[in-house]
Amino acid sequence: MHEVWVEKYRPKALDEVVGQKEVMARLKSYVKSGNLPHLMFAGPAGTGKTTSAMALARELFGDEWRGNFFELNASDERGIGVVRKQIKDYARTRPIGDHPFKIIFLDEADALTDDAQAALRRTMERYTQTCRFILSCNYSSKIIEPIQSRCAVFRFRPLSANDVKEYVRRIAKTEDLEVTGDGLEAITYVARGDARRVTNALQVAASVGGKIDAESVYQTTSTARPEQIKALLTTALEGDFLAARASLDDMLIDYGLSGEDIIRQIHRSVFDLPVSDPLKVRLVDRIGEAEFRMVEGSNERIQIEALLAHFVLVGSEGA
């Protein structure tokens, strides 16, 4: 239990990557041909971008993959200096063993400054004989167009509910864990398509001991039950602001949630409310405004209470 499960259960081969079947099929075709262009992996966190890059290197280079795979997190060193020094120095050296090229993997490449990206663009052109680049990013729009045009772009999607459940069952079987049906649904809800969040939630819940059920998952991940959030919003829509405020207090104390956590869960639950679509539009618009104000530094408690007050007003209009 002392191991970090995120690394323990990181897939070692492309066939083991959860979800992303179309992407894996294309990557395996590169392995079969023994060659590949510069690549860009774009998508949300925890969807397998880093894992896929490492698995691709393993299958291309075999036992010599570590010597031919250079990983750099661009969010740590994001200026032009890292391109001119570290990346350029590695790119100009020959691959280890009988391999035509090596791989430079730039994680979180969308954190690179514009000057660094401009320098990277030229480096990618100059050392293409000995080096291939794989850029990983959450937002491909933050990568300059000249770099995007030099890469084959792969879009990674959040894991589906079925993929999450399959992944949980795989870990549970290996670790001999008992995961109840509601526990499985809770992990799926908490994960939001992120494999890392799945693994961490499962490990933390397992450390508590006993069977893993919904209650242990929500408590250990500091997540309110979706039915509690829905009840909170329904109470506000019915016009009982003070009861909704008291329910909010209970959730903040029981789960230790931040304002942004509450807002995200409210946003996920608003579409299940028994109100008309025009009212849902107004509610989502106000949720977005409250979230923006909190990000900009406004008081979380005041913004959430103001949001609940707006729900009360909208509920009275729709009554």
Q: The domain that contains 139 carries what CATH number?
A: 3.40.50.300
d(CA 265, CA 288): 12
Residue 117: per-residue pLDDT: 86
Q: Is the pLDDT of residue 56 over 90?
A: yes
The answer to whether 273 and 230 are in contact (CB under 8 A) is yes
Q: Which of 155, 182, 203 is the last residue of a domain?
A: 155
Residues 15, 139, single domain; the answer is yes
The answer to whether 277 and 202 are in contact (CB under 8 A) is no
Residues 148, 259, single domain; the answer is no
Residues 85, 17, single domain; the answer is yes
Q: Is the pLDDT of residue 148 over 50?
A: yes
Residue 1: per-residue pLDDT: 47
Structure tokens at 71: 């990983």
Residues 52, 132, single domain; the answer is yes
Residues 263, 212, single domain; the answer is no
Q: In this structure, which amino acid lies at residue 280?
A: K
- In this prediction, residues 126-134 reach a mean pLDDT of 88
Helix (H, G, I), strand (E, B) or coil at 107: strand
Residues 172, 305, single domain; the answer is no
d(CA 164, CA 199): 10
Residues 123, 263, single domain; the answer is no
pLDDT digits (tens, 9 = 90+) for 85-118: 778 888 888 888 888 899 989 888 888 888 888 8
Residue 274: burial class (beta carbons within 10 Å; 0-12, 13-18, 19+): exposed
Owner of token pair 């239990």: 1
Number of domain units in the chain: 3
* CB atoms near residue 242 (< 10 Å): 9
Residues 74, 104, single domain; the answer is yes
Reported as half-sphere exposure (CB side, CA atoms, 13 A), residue 115 has a value of 7
Torsion angle, CA of 82/53/7/94, rounded to 10 degrees?
-60
pLDDT digits (tens, 9 = 90+) for 188-203: 999 888 888 888 888 8
- In this prediction, residues 50-77 reach a mean pLDDT of 86
Residue 78: per-residue pLDDT: 61
Helix (H, G, I), strand (E, B) or coil at 38: strand
Owner of token pair 């079947």: 21
Q: Is the pLDDT of residue 319 over 70?
A: no
Q: CATH code at 257?
A: 1.20.272.10
Residues 122, 140, single domain; the answer is yes
Residue 96: per-residue pLDDT: 86
- In this prediction, residues 132-145 reach a mean pLDDT of 91
- Nearest-5° angle of CA 260, CA 261, CA 264? 85
Residues 196, 255, single domain; the answer is no
Residues 261, 195, single domain; the answer is no
DSSP alpha helices (H): ranges in the chain? 5-8, 21-33, 49-61, 80-82, 88-91, 114-126, 145-148, 161-175, 181-191, 195-208, 214-220, 226-237, 241-255, 259-269, 277-295, 300-318
Residue 55: give the domain boundaries. 5-155
pLDDT digits (tens, 9 = 90+) for 274-312: 888 889 999 999 999 999 999 898 898 899 999 999 999
Q: CATH code at 192?
A: 1.10.8.60
Residues 115, 250, single domain; the answer is no
